[in-house]
Amino acid sequence: MARGGAIKTSDRTRSERRLGWMLCAPAVGAMLLVTAYPIAYALVLSLQELDLRFPDEGGFVGLSNYESVLTSSLWWQDVFNTTFVTVVSVAIELTLGMILALVMYRAIFGRGLVRTAVLIPYGIITVVAAFSWFFAFNPDTGFVNQLPFIADDKAWFGERFSSLAVVIMAEVWKTTPFMGLLLLAGLVTIDDTLNEAAKVDGASAWQRFWKITVPLMKPAILVALLFRTLDAFRIFDSIFIMTGGAQDTESVSILGYNQLIERLNLGLGSAVSVLIFVCVLIIAFIFVKGFGVRMAEGRPGS
Amino acid sequence: MGAALMLLAIVALPGCTGSDSAEGSGTELSFFIFNEPSGAYQEAATKCSEDSNGEYTISFEFLPAQADAQREQLVRRLGAEDDSIDIIGMDVIWTAEFANAGFIEPWEGSDAQAVTDGAFDSVVESASFEGELYAAPFTSNTQLLWYRKDRVQTPPKTWDDMIAEAQKIGDDGLIQVQANFYEGFTVLVNAMIESAGTQILKGPTEVDLEQAPTERALEVLGEFARSPAAPPDIDTSTEDTARLSFEAGGASFMLNYPFVYPSAKENAPDVFKEMEAALYPAIDADKPSRPPLGGINLGVSAFSNNKDLAFEAIKCLVEPDNQITAATLGGLPPTNEAVYETKDIEKAYPGFSDVIKESIDNAAPRPLTPAYTDLSLAIQRSLHPPGDIDPADVATTYDELVEKVEQAVKREGLL
């Protein structure tokens, strides 16, 4: 009886699994169609000299598009900018996000309200947020230069690092709530009795945070970091609105946009896109292999 | 990123199919042009549709307000050989690119004759590529030197005079220009280089940029950008920031298109009373001023199913009567010289229609090359921000400019 039951369950499991695959097949197909096909097409384009404005010229050119991208100082300058913005903004977001998560976790009254309120910046369309920051820091229209200790005619977008600073502030303002919520999700899974026990043993709040909360939250922190890093690396809207890439503030995405959309140079532009894709893969690889992020089991105790 | 752009294009499509069709019948011709706020283009289209005796009706598909965004939408459609475009409202700088890519039809014989008859040479040049006409001049545009007559007695003829005069005025002496990292900066640079006595290109792929005059132009640009006459936000200045600052009263000079005149009348009546127009400044007194040239030329899409009708419709749209409408309603300068002799034009440009005519007559079109976008990016990359140009050592900047421009016309590498 027990044996028969076991075989029966196994059959059922198998058929359920088959059903599962059948159910998700359309989604997998759609994903392949909208992601794998364009990526493959971009790869093919990146090996050609192809310019919409010169339809009679072109052909297969091997890796020469990659060569011109990788030997260009512009590409490396943009990689630096993108990395700089990514690292600085994600670091600030992690710190602020953690504080936000702790505040939300400890909030005694109006918990729902607090959690909804912090999400508002994240809900604002990036372009709109970028415009508000742009106008706020613009010497003609903005209020920032009216603040004490800031020169009235400070041209924030007239210089590289002050421009990048505003871009980073806008990014931090907009995505810290997202970081905060991801961290909060990790925070609530920690068993409170551990903290209680440590308290009884005489651990200070600081010690409890570093010895208990952070290690137990590590999977959640890494997932949050991975998401935000990949997101930040593709930064486009904020820079496009605020400087348009002037003062050497271009990101790699804007570089790709300039080659593809402005110059209609599909070969060169595709090479840039493929290289951005490779960068993203490298970042994901470092996180997954180097830090051991487990996407599916990003919860302690599982 | 490729995938994201494709998705974006698909998502954006429903947004731009809202058409505004004029009353009438016959074949529907779709006219892709930016949404001119005064309605002057619609009025011309309605009139032509009615006069066609039911042969065609022109319907509008509006493009974004910014020229870059207009071009972006058009080249996406034209690159995909979209047959839903019949008539294209083209910025003067797109002619060579669209013609070379086979996006637009050439104008031949009597049709070409009809639409260029009486038009300014500079405008016809901007609508031609490799000796052939590719678009019909419709409305022109040019930049003038706007100044405050309460602070400036006689308008300066040269940049040096203007900078000196501005510094004499003091805090309110600012000169408003367009020097953001965008097309407007190329417009400024081209006008300066042309007025110094050379040009950027001598053929679609041949760089000119004679050293001595180019260095002189760069020197003036650097001197201006480093002088107190340059506004603090010069590196991000556009047509609109210039207009707003001038309207706020903190500037005494402004290089800008005539749209600023009705705008000041509306927004800043006090400034408007003191506002006067003069010819764009020259680099040196012994060389002519070469003001910027803008405007819209009308082309026929190579993928249109109604090319003959589209040619007919354009011939009607560019008629002098419609140009007068565009000038009086929308302040858009006519491309036809004879129109400047009519009384109506004085209504559109009270007291400065002569200056506009002279300005378009002297105007220097931007270089005509299929790789124009590359060229413009190259100029911006090598000269922006203008404050980095050291007037005492322009040779380095000159070398960089020539190198980038060479790279652009050969379409090599990243830009």
Tell me whether A213 touches chain B (CB under 8 Å).
no
Place of tokens 């970081």: A179
Query: CA torsion sign, A281 to A287 to A290 to A292?
Result: negative
Task: Name residue A18's amino acid.
Answer: R
Tell me whether A238 touches chain B (CB under 8 Å).
no
For A173, the domain range is: 73-290
Give the confidence band of B348 by pLDDT, cuts at 50, 70, 90. confident
**What is the number of helices (H) and of strands (E) in chain B?**
18, 14
Cβ contact A235:A171 at 8 Å = yes
Tell me whether A155 touches chain B (CB under 8 Å).
yes
Which superfamily does CATH assign the domain made up of B144-290+371-410 to?
A: Periplasmic binding protein-like II (3.40.190.10)
Nearest chain A CA: its distance from B71 CA (Å)? 9
Longest dimension (CA), chain B: 66
Residue A56 in any domain: the answer is: no
B341 membership: H or E segment, kind and range: none
Q: Which residue has the higher pLDDT, B3 or A176?
A: A176
Residue A153's pLDDT is 78
Nearest chain B CA: its distance from A249 CA (Å)? 11
| pLDDT digit string, tens, across residues A124-173 | 999 999 999 998 998 877 888 888 888 887 888 888 999 999 999 999 99
Number of neighbouring beta carbons within 10 Å of residue A201: 9
Q: ω before B204 within 30° of 0 (cis)?
A: no
B357 membership: H or E segment, kind and range: helix B353-362
Q: Which residue among A53, A71, A246 sits closest to B370, beta carbon to beta carbon?
A: A53
**What Rg value do the Cα atoms of chain B yield, rounded?**
21
Averaged pLDDT, B122-151? 95
Q: Which residue has the higher pLDDT, A152 or B135?
A: B135
The proportion of chain A whose per-residue pLDDT surpasses 90, expressed as a percent, equals 53
Residue A299's pLDDT is 46
Nearest chain B CA: its distance from A106 CA (Å)? 39
| HSE-up of residue A44 (Cα within 13 Å, Cβ side) | 6
Residue B11's pLDDT is 41
Residue A40 in any domain: the answer is: no
Averaged pLDDT, B237-255? 92
Nearest chain B CA: its distance from A69 CA (Å)? 6
Task: Name residue B38's amino acid.
Answer: S
Tell me whether A211 touches chain B (CB under 8 Å).
no
Residues spanned by CATH 3.40.190.10 within chain B? 20-141+294-362, 144-290+371-410
Residue B135: closest CA among B103, B95, B168 = B95
- Residue B203 pLDDT > 90: no
Distance of CA A292 to the CA centre of its chain: 18
Q: How far apart are CA A142 and CA B207, in angstroms?
A: 42
Residue A243 in any domain: the answer is: yes
Residue B8's pLDDT is 43
Place of tokens 């551990």: A194
Non-local CB neighbours of B149 within 8 Å, separated by 6+ positions: B274, B275, B276
Contact across the interface for B2 and A270, Cβ inside 8 Å? yes
| Contacts A272 to B, Cβ<8 Å | 414
Residue A167 in any domain: the answer is: yes
| Contacts A258 to B, Cβ<8 Å | 377, 415
Residue A97 in any domain: the answer is: yes
Residue A179: closest CA among A187, A80, A289 = A187
Averaged pLDDT, B379-398? 94
Q: How far apart are CA B94 and CA B126, in angstroms?
A: 9
Non-local CB neighbours of A23 within 8 Å, separated by 6+ positions: none
Place of tokens 């790789």: B371
Place of tokens 């041209």: A155
CA quadruple A274, A276, A281, A286: dihedral, nearest 10: 150
Burial of A254 (0-12, 13-18, 19+ CB in 10 A): buried
Residue B126's pLDDT is 93
Averaged pLDDT, B201-220? 94
Task: For the sheet with B19-21, list strands across it.
Answer: B19-21, B56-63, B27-34, B87-91, B293-300, B136-142
Contact across the interface for B236 and A246, Cβ inside 8 Å? yes
| pLDDT digit string, tens, across residues B18-40 | 444 445 568 999 999 999 888 99
Cβ contact B153:B169 at 8 Å = no
Tell me whether A244 touches chain B (CB under 8 Å).
yes
Give the confidence band of A9 by pLDDT, cuts at 50, 70, 90. low
The tokens describing B166, both together, are 């501005």
**What Rg value do the Cα atoms of chain A yield, rounded?**
25
Place of tokens 């000038």: B327
The tokens describing B359, both together, are 């300005």
Contact across the interface for B101 and A246, Cβ inside 8 Å? no
CATH of the structural domain B20-141+294-362, one choice from 3.40.50.1370, 2.40.50.100, 3.40.50.620, 3.40.190.10: 3.40.190.10
| pLDDT digit string, tens, across residues A286-296 | 988 887 766 55
Query: Which residue from A minimizes the CA distance to B409?
Result: A263
Give the confidence band of A2 by pLDDT, cuts at 50, 70, 90. very low
- Residue B6 pLDDT > 50: no
Q: Which residue among A158, A265, A273 sits closest to B1, beta carbon to beta carbon?
A: A273
Q: Most A CBs within 10 Å: which of B1, B186, B241, B383, as the mutation test of the A interface?
A: B1
Non-local CB neighbours of A140 within 8 Å, separated by 6+ positions: B233, B241, B244, B245, B248
Q: How many structural domains are present in chain A?
A: 1
- Residue B204 pLDDT > 50: yes
Q: How far apart are CA B366 and CA B209, in angstroms?
A: 13
Q: Mean pLDDT score of chain A, rounded to an integer?
A: 88
Q: Which residue among B101, B233, B380 sits closest to A52, beta carbon to beta carbon?
A: B101
Q: How many residues does chain B have?
A: 415
Residue A8's pLDDT is 60
| Contacts A74 to B, Cβ<8 Å | 414-415
Number of neighbouring beta carbons within 10 Å of residue B19: 12
| pLDDT digit string, tens, across residues A219-272 | 889 989 999 999 999 999 999 999 888 888 999 999 999 999 888 899 999 999
Q: Which residue among A246, A253, A259 sits closest to B414, beta carbon to beta carbon?
A: A259
- Residue A7 pLDDT > 80: no
End-to-end Cα spacing for chain B: 18
Non-local CB neighbours of A78 within 8 Å, separated by 6+ positions: A250, A251, A252, A254, A255
Query: Which residue from B minimizes the CA distance to A68?
Result: B413
Contact across the interface for B235 and A155, Cβ inside 8 Å? yes
Q: Which residue among B6, B97, B414 sits closest to A268, beta carbon to beta carbon?
A: B414
- Residue A113 pLDDT > 70: yes
Whole-prediction pTM value?
A: 0.83
Strand partners, B132: B129
Residue B161's pLDDT is 96
Cβ contact B7:B48 at 8 Å = no
- Residue B170 pLDDT > 50: yes
- Residue B370 pLDDT > 70: yes
Rounded-to-5 percentages of helix, strand, coil across chain A: 75, 0, 25
Q: How far apart are CA B363 and CA B191, in angstroms?
A: 8
Give the confidence band of B330 by pLDDT, cuts at 50, 70, 90. confident
In total, the C-beta contacts within 8 angstroms joining chain A to chain B are: 113
Tell me whether A57 touches chain B (CB under 8 Å).
no
Q: Which residue among A38, A51, A265 sits closest to B6, beta carbon to beta carbon?
A: A38
The domain that contains A190 carries what CATH number?
A: 1.10.3720.10
Q: Which residue has the higher pLDDT, B23 or B289?
A: B289
Contact across the interface for A264 and B241, Cβ inside 8 Å? no
In 3-state terms, what secondary structure has residue B80?
Answer: coil
Tell me whether A239 touches chain B (CB under 8 Å).
no
Averaged pLDDT, B334-353? 91
The proportion of chain B whose per-residue pLDDT surpasses 70, expressed as a percent, equals 94
Rounded-to-5 percentages of helix, strand, coil across chain B: 50, 20, 30
Q: How far apart are CA A254 and CA A234, in angstroms?
A: 9
Q: Which of A2-6, B29-33, B112-116 has the lowest mean pLDDT?
A: A2-6
Averaged pLDDT, B246-274? 93
Residue A235 in any domain: the answer is: yes
Residue A249: closest CA among A193, A165, A182 = A165
In 3-state terms, what secondary structure has residue B82?
Answer: coil
Contact across the interface for A264 and B79, Cβ inside 8 Å? yes
| Contacts B100 to A, Cβ<8 Å | 53-54
Non-local CB neighbours of A296 within 8 Å, separated by 6+ positions: none
Query: CA torsion sign, B338 to B342 to B347 to B353?
Result: positive
Q: Which residue has the higher pLDDT, A76 or B331?
A: A76
Nearest chain B CA: its distance from A54 CA (Å)? 6
- Residue B181 pLDDT > 70: yes
The proportion of chain B whose per-residue pLDDT surpasses 90, expressed as a percent, equals 79
In 3-state terms, what secondary structure has residue B23?
Answer: coil
- Residue A1 pLDDT > 60: no
Strand partners, B88: B32, B299
Residue A58 in any domain: the answer is: no
